[in-house]
């Protein structure tokens, strides 16, 4: 797969070396397996959601709770799911742009 580079060595910090190591890794089954596991952890699916914020404080003793609902379309869910590859690349020290977000309208419940 390529030459091993000790962590902390100057070569390990060299962007060209980091990119070459990632290129080798991206061809390995471990990369695909890791991508698959991360994909399963990405729980955003199209549908209706409820977001609840609960703040507990000393004064007043009663918790403050607020709820909103939002809907994530299939297109928005697919767009956010692209971040799975971004997470893997970022963890491996690769430049990542852009991250993908769904800018949704939150409605009070």
* CA–CA gap between residue 10 and residue 31 (Å, rounded): 25
Number of other residues whose CB lies within 10 A of the CB of residue 67: 13
Let me know if 60 is exposed, middle or buried by CB neighbors in 10 A (0-12, 13-18, 19+). exposed
Q: What is the pLDDT of residues 41-90, one digit of tens each?
A: 998 999 999 999 999 988 888 899 999 999 999 999 999 999 999 999 99
Q: Is 57 helix (H, G, I), strand (E, B) or coil?
A: coil
The confidence score (pLDDT) of residue 9 equals 62
Residue with tokens 């003793």: 61
Q: Does position 12 have pLDDT exceeding 70, yes or no?
A: no
30: left (phi over 0), alpha (psi -120 to 50) or beta: alpha
What pTM, to 2 d.p., does this model score? 0.68
Identify the residue with better confidence: 97 or 10: 97
N- to C-terminal Cα distance for the chain? 54
Identify the residue with better confidence: 31 or 9: 31
* CA–CA gap between residue 3 and residue 17 (Å, rounded): 10
């Amino acid at each position: 797969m390529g030459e091993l580079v000790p962590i902390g060595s100057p070569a390990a910090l060299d962007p060209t070396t980091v990119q070459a190591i990632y290129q080798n890794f991206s061809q390995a089954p471990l990369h695909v397996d890791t991508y698959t596991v991360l994909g399963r952890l990405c729980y955003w699916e199209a549908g209706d959601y409820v977001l609840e914020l609960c703040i507990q404080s000393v004064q007043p003793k009663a918790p403050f709770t607020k709820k909103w609902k939002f809907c994530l379309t299939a297109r928005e869910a697919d767009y956010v799911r692209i971040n799975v590859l971004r997470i893997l690349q970022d963890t491996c020290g690769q430049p990542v742009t852009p991250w993908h977000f769904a800018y949704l309208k939150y409605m009070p419940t």
